Amino acid sequence: MDSNACSSIVRLNICGKKFWTTVDTLTQREPQSMLAAMFSGRHAVCKDSDKGYVFVDRDGKHFRHILNWLRDGVARNLYELERLELLELLQEAEYYQLLGLVDKINEVLKVKDEQMNIDLTRTDIVKYVRPLMASRPILKLRGTNLSGLDLSKLDLSGVDFSFTCLKSVNFSHTVLHSAKFVEVDAENAIFQNAMLFECIFTMANLCGAMLAGANFKSADLSSCILRDADLRSAKLLKASLYKANLEGANMEEADLSEANLSQAKLKNANFQHARLYRAILLETCLEDANLEGANLFQAVRRPQDRTNWW
């Protein structure tokens, strides 16, 4: 075989699954991708000492689809894949920064959703999440309809639920550390005793949601709608509730220490025996709010109050 041809052959070991391809295949179709950068000649790649395989620490289950795309720009058999398999492939395409393939997968997902209109089930989510637990990639369920599902007592840490319909979903006792809920519709959802620390809920609709006992430590609930939500005994230490609508919410015995409630709407909210130690209450509307027994020690209610402890 010609020596130039031999030098262009690349052996890949994708977590135990082995593939042969060429440098041209990996670099020409998507020149801005991570694979193109790896084999551009500008970087040294690690090969095993036996047969010269380059090891890549990713799941090789769908890598053949990636190679087919890079070879001829045709993502074969995508329409035959189940939705969850497409989501897995999407994560791999995003990891390798194959923007053309990402667009194609999203196009197929859109067509499948329009044609089938099938919503995910608890079994689907458990089946998809468990194999990913060890490596913890970001699972994206953006824009799906999960309304009414029972997702209680699962570990869904880091999952991206943004723009999803979560009406009446049961997340009680679920671990959701660092999950994203940007602009979700979670009206009447149940998050009782859920672990929600460092979650992002910006502009989410949590109207009437059951959030009693939930841990929102350092969570971002900016501009959330929490009207009539039940937040009894919830832990909101250092949480951001900036511009949140908490009208009629029940915050009895909630811990809002050092929380930011600036410009929040708190009309008719119940803060009986709530802890608001060092909370920021600048420009908040407290009309008819019940603050009986609340701890407001060193709370910031005027700009000049900041000098007391900052």
For the segment 273-284, what is each residue's pLDDT rounded down to a tens digit? 999 999 999 999
- Cβ–Cβ contacts within 10 Å for residue 74, how many? 10
The CATH architecture assigned to 3-115 reads 2-Layer Sandwich (3.30)
User: What local confidence, expressed as pLDDT, does residue 110 receive?
Assistant: 78
**CA distances, 202 to each of 151, 183, 184, 222, 235 (Å):** 21, 6, 9, 5, 18
Confidence check: pLDDT of 113 > 80: no
Contacts of 91 (CB under 8 A, 6+ apart): 137, 138, 139, 140
- Dist. CA 57–CA 97, nearest whole Å: 15
pLDDT of residue 15: 87
**Biggest alpha carbon–alpha carbon distance for the chain:** 86
| Segment 138-185, tens digit of pLDDT | 677 777 789 999 999 999 998 889 888 999 999 999 999 999 999 999
Comparing CA positions, the residue from 165, 118, 123 lying closest to residue 141 is: 165
pLDDT for the residue 305: 58
The pLDDT of residue 102: 93
Gyration radius of the chain over CA positions: 25
Q: Judging by beta carbons within 10 Å of its beta carbon (0-12, 13-18, 19+), is residue 140 exposed, middle or buried?
A: middle
Measured at the CA of 236, the angle between CA 288 and CA 179, to 5 degrees, comes to 125
User: Among residues of the chain, what percentage have pLDDT more than 90?
Assistant: 60
What local confidence, expressed as pLDDT, does residue 51 receive?
74
Q: What pLDDT does 303 receive?
A: 65
9-14 sheet: strands from edge to edge: 17-22, 9-14, 54-56
Between strands 9-14 and 17-22, the pairing is antiparallel
10 Å CB burial of residue 303 (0-12, 13-18, 19+) is exposed
The CATH architecture to which 120-310 belongs is 3 Solenoid (2.160)
Residue 13: its H or E element: strand 9-14
Check: CB of residue 29 under 8 Å from CB of residue 100. yes
What pLDDT shows up at residue 50? 63
Domain residue extents for the chain: 3-115, 120-310
As a whole number, the mean pLDDT across the chain is 86
pLDDT of 247:
95
| pTM of the model as a whole | 0.64
Say if residues 265 and 244 touch (Cβ distance below 8 Å).
yes
pLDDT for residue 114 is more than 70: no
pLDDT of residue 132: 54
203-262 pLDDT per residue, tens: 999 999 999 999 999 999 999 999 999 999 999 999 999 999 999 999 999 999 999 999
The string of pLDDT tens digits covering residues 188-208 is: 999 999 999 999 999 999 999
In whole angstroms, give the CA distance from residue 296 to residue 178: 29
- Tell me if 3-115 shares its fold with 120-310: no
- Over pLDDT 70: what percentage of the chain? 86
